[in-house]
């Protein structure tokens, strides 16, 4: 039969949901603390406590010095007593012996109660913290313990409590004490009183986890959730796509007769959920995101200053539905797609299109072509202003008119983008490539100007030169760059310009390098040894003055590669050498190879290279094996 101590020990283990080792360690640590306090033992002295689980007795073992005559019983022990524990003990040795005080169990229980409770609480907090840190982003189930105006307390596993703030609750949802609810853990913080677990039912990831639980296709990755926009308790939009062909992502989420989506709607207190198929085409995706309203046309405008804007044209009877109550539908569609959405009725869009053709000079040419259509649109708008109805064919004509005008605007923007790209390429062609390898902080300019340029997004000297070519006003507009500083930058940048001749030489050098790289497989596909011998003899005839060790595979590739007209010069004036001369001269002049102090230096003459001495002709031995030829 188990002792009372063992029964109490097991009860504590079960009640606290802790392991036996944790409870036992806490008890032993408390007994050691009680012993030190009872006998006033030093913290440097080794003291251990052992429990007998059957009898419930506690034994204290203390390290003492072996002596002939005991002066301090707390730190010394007789040789005869020490040899009972360790037969080889000698005088002066340190031996661990039992030294349990009389009636120690009752005294220790009184003095060690707080220590035991503290250790158990610390162990519980550590276990709770480790457990719930792994649960962040997951749904947990709990019981409502209390509700007030600012928060609700939810009882969770491991005897932990989570808090749900008012902003994390679904509006107009009433929580009652003892109700079991599901919620999302979105944050866990450590505190002296234990982990602070923050729960939410209004987070959009709560809807994501509910969909994963209810829709097996999402859980297994067959259907992917692309984005979620949600206003808790009112409406939510979910964009989904299929990762496999033949799968209907919307049908998989809705389920047969809406069984799957209705289970989620009930969990979210009748929150309306629109499931939309995601599309790579932005216009098509935006049109679907405006659902349930019907869309006539979507016209996109991309701008770095104003961001991405989509103009959505809908019929007049669909305008209120597209905007939604207090703009809710349009707001959710904008969050879902990431575009700024401007919704217009068909009549409003036609009025603006007619105004553009009449007032904007950019549409003058189109206005001449659309003169007859403009008259018809003006008559239709007058009828609408008078409140008279229009036949369906008039609305169709109006839609096509709006589409032509808006498409003309999109075409004009594309042309402007192409023109901007062309200007960028032309400016980039005048910038020496080596300037992009020089850090902006190594340029010979005042230090505060260099830091301002770096904060402005120019990390290298090449970025600074390119920006001066494209838009110098942007550099002048930086805070801290005045006329004097701008003049210094201009003096530095202006000499760093490639002439058209240098640009042609650079392009020829790059083209020659590409041709050499393309010709490399020639040496890898030599079919037979006979062809190798013929190639070797041809090399010897064309290069009689090369030494044996100079006839390499690279030379064969160079001879085999087709040469451009510009490359048919003398061998000592190849495009690669011209490229090196071009930039080696600039390097000396502008300090390219001195990044620690890039400054201008006086122009120096480039010494002419000594002519190579011709070596005597030596016949190269024949190579019969393909492998040996590749190694050669």
Q: Please state which of the ranges 305-314, 337-346, 473-482, 605-614 shows the lowest mean pLDDT.
A: 605-614
Instruction: Residue 235: name the closest of 343, 339, 332, 336 by CA.
Output: 332
Output 230 or 494, whichever has higher pLDDT.
Answer: 230
Mean pLDDT of 435-444: 84
Residues 182 and 102 in one domain: no
Residue 240 or residue 447, greater confidence: 240
CA-to-CA distance for 501 and 606, rounded, in angstroms? Answer: 19
Res 460 pLDDT > 80: yes
Domain end: 153, 174, 202, which one? 202
pLDDT at 598 over 70: no
Q: Does residue 184 share a domain with residue 86? A: no
Report how far residue 139's alpha carbon sits from residue 122's, in angstroms, rounded to the nearest whole number.
26
DSSP 412-437: HHHHHHHHHHHHHHHHHHTS-GGGGG
Q: Would you say residue 29 lies in a domain?
A: yes
Residue 531: inside a domain: yes
Question: Cα(120)–Cα(113) distance, rounded to whole angstroms?
Answer: 11
Write the CA distances from 611 to 201, 346, 571, 606, 614, integer angstroms: 83, 80, 12, 15, 9
Residues in the chain: 632
User: Is pLDDT at 247 greater than 60 in this prediction?
Assistant: yes
Domain count, the chain: 4
- From 502, 486, 513, 496, select the one nearest 461 (Cα to Cα): 496
pLDDT, residue 350, reads 92
Which residues fall within 8 angstroms of residue 296, CB to CB, at 6 or more apart?
313, 314, 315, 346, 399, 402
pLDDT(131) > 50: yes
Partners of residue 59 on adjacent β-strands:
50
Q: 218 vs 440, which has greater pLDDT? A: 218
Please indicate, yes or no, whether residues 39 and 106 belong to a single structural domain of this protein: yes
Contact predicate 623/536, CB 8 Å: yes
Backbone angles phi, psi at 368, to 5 degrees: -65, -40
Indicate the pLDDT class of residue 564, thresholds 50, 70 and 90: very low
Query: How many Å apart are CA 171 and CA 282, to the nearest integer?
Result: 32
Q: Band of the pLDDT at 472, cuts 50, 70, 90?
A: confident
d(CA 296, CA 399): 7
* Whether the predicted pLDDT of 253 surpasses 80: yes
What is the C-alpha separation between 598 and 439, in angstroms, rounded?
A: 10
Q: Is 458 contained in some domain?
A: yes
Which tokens belong to 245? 């062909």
Mean predicted confidence (pLDDT) in 558-569: 42
Rounded Cα–Cα distance for residues 265 and 252 (Å): 16
User: What is the per-residue pLDDT for 483?
Assistant: 84
User: Which pLDDT value is given to residue 346?
Assistant: 92
The domain that holds 176 is classified in CATH as 2.40.50.140
> What's the per-residue H, E or C state across 238-252?
EEEEECCCCCCHHHH
Residue 163 shares a structural domain with residue 74: no
- Peptide linkage before 292 cis (omega within 30 of 0): yes
Supply the pLDDT for residue 509: 78
Q: How many CB atoms lie within 10 A of CB 369?
A: 11
Other CB atoms within a 10 A radius of the CB of residue 62 amount to 22
**90 falls within a domain:** yes
The CA distance from 61 to 95, in Å, is: 10
Q: Rounded to whole angstroms, how far apart are CA atoms 478 and 474?
A: 7
**Residue 296 domain flag:** no
Comparing 235-244, 309-318, 458-467, 599-608, the range with the smallest average pLDDT is 599-608
Gap between the Cα atoms of 489 and 447, Å rounded: 13
Average model confidence (pLDDT) for the chain?
A: 78
77 and 28 housed in the same domain: yes
Rounded (to 5) percent helix, strand, coil in the chain = 55, 15, 30
| 11 and 111 co-located in one domain | yes
* 319-348: average pLDDT: 93
Report the alpha-carbon distance of residue 50 to residue 58 in Å, rounded.
Answer: 6
Report the C-alpha gap between 575 and 369 in whole angstroms.
54
Beta-sheet strand order (sheet of 223-231): 223-231, 235-242, 272-277
Confidence band (pLDDT; 50, 70, 90) for 112? low
**pLDDT value of position 106:** 63
**Are 26 and 74 within one domain?**
yes
Kindly state the tokens that stand for 605. Answer: 């003459």
Residue 492 pLDDT greater than 60, yes or no: yes
Is pLDDT at 571 greater than 60 in this prediction? no
Give the residues across from 275 on adjacent strands.
238
Among candidate residues 421, 376, 368, 382, the one with its CA nearest the CA of residue 396? 376
Average pLDDT of the segment spanning 587-608 = 42
pTM across the whole model:
0.58
SS3 assignment, position 22: helix
pLDDT confidence of 84, banded at 50, 70, 90? confident
pLDDT tens digits along 169-206: 999 889 999 999 999 999 999 888 889 999 999 999 99
* 519 and 469 in a common domain: no
Do 476 and 512 belong to one domain?
A: no
Q: Residue 533: which pLDDT band, with cuts at 50, 70 and 90?
A: low
Residue 405: inside a domain, yes or no? Answer: no
Are residues 515 and 578 both part of a single domain? yes
Q: Lowest mean pLDDT: which of 15-19, 95-99, 554-558?
A: 554-558
Q: Could you tell me if residue 175 is inside a domain?
A: yes
Q: Which of 10-14, 246-250, 294-298, 595-599 bottoms out in mean pLDDT, i.e. has the lowest?
A: 595-599
The number of beta carbons lying within 10 Å of the beta carbon of residue 465 is 24
Are residues 102 and 8 both part of a single domain? Answer: yes
Q: Greater confidence, 606 or 92?
A: 92
Instruction: Please list the residues that pair with 238 across neighbouring strands.
Output: 228, 275
- DSSP for 110-136 reads HHSHHHHHHHHHHHHHHHHHHHHHTTT
Note whether residue 337 is domain-resident. no
End-to-end CA distance of the chain: 89
Task: Report pLDDT for 532.
Answer: 52
- CA–CA–CA angle 486, 491, 497 (5° rounding): 120
Of 183, 202, 221, which marks where a domain is finished?
202
- d(C-alpha 232, C-alpha 205), whole Å: 12
The percent of residues in the chain predicted with pLDDT above 70, rounded, is 76
Q: What is the pLDDT of residue 580?
A: 43
Given 455, 470, 493, which residue is the final one in a domain? 493
Check pLDDT > 50 for residue 568: no
Cα–Cα distance measured from residue 278 to residue 225, given in angstroms and rounded to the nearest whole number? 9
pLDDT in tens, 361-389: 878 888 888 889 999 999 999 988 888 88
- CATH number of the domain within which 437 lies: 1.10.150
Tokens 């030379």, located at residue: 555
What is the reported pLDDT for 329? 93
Is residue 62 within 8 A of residue 76, CB to CB? The reply is no
Q: Please list the residues that pair with 199 across neighbouring strands.
A: 185
Q: Report the pLDDT value the prediction gives residue 122, as an integer from 0 to 100.
A: 81
Pull the structure tokens for residue 257. 């007769």
Greatest mean pLDDT among 390-404, 485-499, 561-575 lies in 390-404
Q: What is the DSSP letter of 47?
A: E
The yes-or-no verdict on residue 517 having pLDDT over 60 is yes
Is residue 104 scored above 50 in pLDDT?
yes
* 38 plus 67 within the same structural domain: yes
Domain of residue 561, residue span: 500-597
- What DSSP state is assigned to residue 481? -
């Amino acid at each position: 039969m188990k002792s009372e101590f063992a029964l109490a020990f097991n009860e504590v283990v079960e009640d606290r949901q802790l392991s036996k080792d944790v409870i036992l360690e806490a008890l032993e640590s408390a007994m050691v603390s009680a012993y030190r306090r009872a006998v006033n033992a030093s913290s440097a002295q080794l003291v251990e406590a052992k429990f007998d689980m059957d009898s419930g007795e506690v034994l204290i073992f203390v390290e003492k010095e072996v002596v002939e005559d005991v002066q301090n019983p707390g730190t010394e022990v007789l040789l005869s007593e020490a040899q009972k524990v360790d037969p080889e003990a000698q005088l002066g040795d340190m031996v661990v012996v039992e030294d349990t005080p009389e009636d120690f169990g009752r005294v220790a229980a009184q003095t060690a109660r707080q220590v035991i409770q503290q250790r158990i609480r610390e162990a519980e907090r550590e276990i709770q913290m480790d457990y719930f840190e792994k649960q962040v982003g997951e749904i947990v189930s709990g019981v409502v313990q209390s509700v007030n105006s600012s928060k609700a307390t939810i009882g969770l596993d491991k005897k932990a409590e989570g808090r749900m703030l008012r902003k994390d609750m679904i509006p107009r949802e009433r929580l009652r004490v003892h109700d079991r609810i599901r919620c999302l853990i979105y944050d866990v913080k450590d505190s002296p009183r234990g982990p602070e677990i923050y729960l939410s039912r209004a987070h959009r990831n709560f809807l994501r986890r509910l969909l994963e639980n209810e829709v097996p296709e999402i859980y297994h990755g067959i259907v992917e959730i692309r984005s979620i926009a949600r206003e808790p308790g009112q409406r939510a939009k979910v964009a989904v796509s299929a990762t496999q062909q033949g799968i209907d992502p919307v049908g998989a989420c809705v389920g047969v007769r809406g069984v799957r989506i209705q289970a989620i709607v009930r969990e979210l207190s009748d929150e309306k959920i629109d499931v939309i198929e995601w599309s790579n085409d932005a216009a098509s995706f935006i049109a679907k995101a405006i659902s349930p309203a019907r869309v006539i046309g979507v016209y996109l405008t991309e701008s770095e200053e104003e961001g991405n804007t989509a103009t959505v044209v809908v019929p007049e009877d669909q305008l209120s539905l597209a905007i939604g109550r207090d703009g809710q539908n349009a707001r959710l569609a904008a969050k879902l797609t990431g575009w700024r959405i401007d919704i217009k009725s068909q009549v409003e869009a036609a009025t603006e299109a007619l105004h553009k053709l009449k007032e904007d000079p950019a549409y003058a040419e189109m206005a001449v072509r659309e003169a007859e259509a403009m008259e018809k649109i003006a008559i239709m708008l007058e009828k609408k202003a008078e409140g008279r109805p229009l036949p369906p064919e008039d609305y169709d004509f109006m839609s096509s008119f709006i589409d032509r005008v808006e498409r003309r605007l999109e075409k004009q923007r594309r042309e402007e983008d192409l023109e901007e790209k062309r200007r960028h390429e032309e400016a980039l062609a005048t910038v020496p490539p080596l300037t992009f390898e020089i850090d902006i902080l190594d340029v010979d300019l005042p230090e505060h100007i260099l830091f301002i340029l770096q904060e402005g997004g120019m990390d290298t000297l090449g970025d600074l030169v390119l920006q001066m070519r494209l838009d110098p006003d942007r550099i002048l507009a930086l805070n801290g760059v005045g006329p004097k500083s701008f003049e210094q930058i201009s003096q530095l940048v202006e000499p760093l310009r490639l002439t058209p001749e240098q640009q042609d030489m650079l392009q020829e050098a790059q083209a020659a390098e590409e041709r050499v790289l393309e010709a490399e497989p020639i040496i890898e596909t030599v079919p037979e040894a006979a062809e190798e011998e013929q190639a070797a003899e041809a090399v010897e005839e064309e290069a009689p003055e090369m030494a044996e060790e100079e006839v390499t595979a690279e030379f064969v590739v160079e001879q085999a590669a087709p040469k451009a007209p510009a490359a048919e010069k003398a061998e000592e004036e190849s495009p690669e050498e011209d490229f090196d001369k071009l930039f080696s001269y600039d390097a000396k002049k502008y300090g390219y190879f001195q990044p620690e102090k890039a400054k201008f230096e006086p122009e120096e003459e480039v010494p002419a290279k000594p002519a190579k001495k011709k070596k005597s002709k030596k016949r190269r031995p024949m190579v019969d094996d393909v492998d040996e030829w590749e190694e050669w």
